[in-house]
Amino acid sequence: MVDERTTPPPIDIYEPSFVKGVFDRCSERYIAFSWICSFGFTERWRRQCIQALPLGSGPAVGYDLMAGTGEVWPHLLKRHPNVAAITAVDISSGMHRRALQRLHAHRAHKIDFREDDVLASQLPPLSADYVVSTFGLKTFSQEQLGRLAVLVARVLKPGGAFAMIEASDPKGWWLRPLYRLHLKQVLPLVEHLFLKGAQDFAMIGTYSTNFGDASFFAARLREQGLEVRFRRHFFGCATSVSGRKPPQGFAGRQWAPPRSHVH
């Protein structure tokens, strides 16, 4: 007898509406959960990301992509007081509301928010002196990271700077098994016990594990003609990319994923 029941299609965790749902539901507790469960390292890594941003001293406008709750803005404005405006782009409106309500009301005049899928956004070419992003790269597949590299190269002005950081898989570190246990087992357990059984924060561990590190993204940025430095932080538990667009600019090329070979 044939079972006519249909199997639901597999969930695409990189589909924009899925990502939006995860972070909208996380937004109320994201800041505290992130800080506690990373033992404060996320804040340190945000500061190090901005320290790596090679931004000049003139008035600067730019983008914070996958901006979340805007926790990088204090570091950006403190180190670069010449920043005149930040356009925060994030698919989660819940994250941004949380940011302005609790953290950044006194900075609101410098911050514009666009609720949008970054890869579908219409950010103008040559419109940014800088681009930053902290802990948003993991929510993209490799194909999407290739498109993101094209976008970064397109929106940066010649001589513009960028810096991005992401939690990563510390391959080669002798404590890697404990780190992965923390991401894959401990965080979901904490969420289950203290956040009423929700499973959204557990997805952050899944995204981070799948991401690996930022070396793939660094290669895609170099393909677009950007000057790129790749760094590892705390034994590779986070990795970052930073650099500039050459002053003369570069046309770049459209990135496409490698073709699969049929044997």
pTM for this one? Answer: 0.81
Task: Lowest mean pLDDT of 26-40, 173-187, 205-219, name the range.
Answer: 26-40
> What pLDDT is attached to residue 15?
74
165 confidence band (pLDDT: 50, 70, 90): very high
Domains of the chain and any CATH numbers: 30-244 (3.40.50.150)
Judge whether 158 and 183 are in contact, CB under 8 Å: no
Neighbours of 102 (CB within 10 A): 11
262 confidence band (pLDDT: 50, 70, 90): very low
Which token pair is 51? 């320290």
Q: Round to whole Å and give the CA distance between 211 and 72.
A: 21
Judge whether 190 and 37 are in contact, CB under 8 Å: yes
Q: Round to whole Å and give the CA distance between 125 and 138.
A: 24
Judge whether residue 9 has pLDDT over 70: no
Q: CB under 8 Å to 140, separation ≥6 — which residues?
A: 14, 119, 148
Judge whether 169 and 211 are in contact, CB under 8 Å: yes
The type of residue at 243 is G
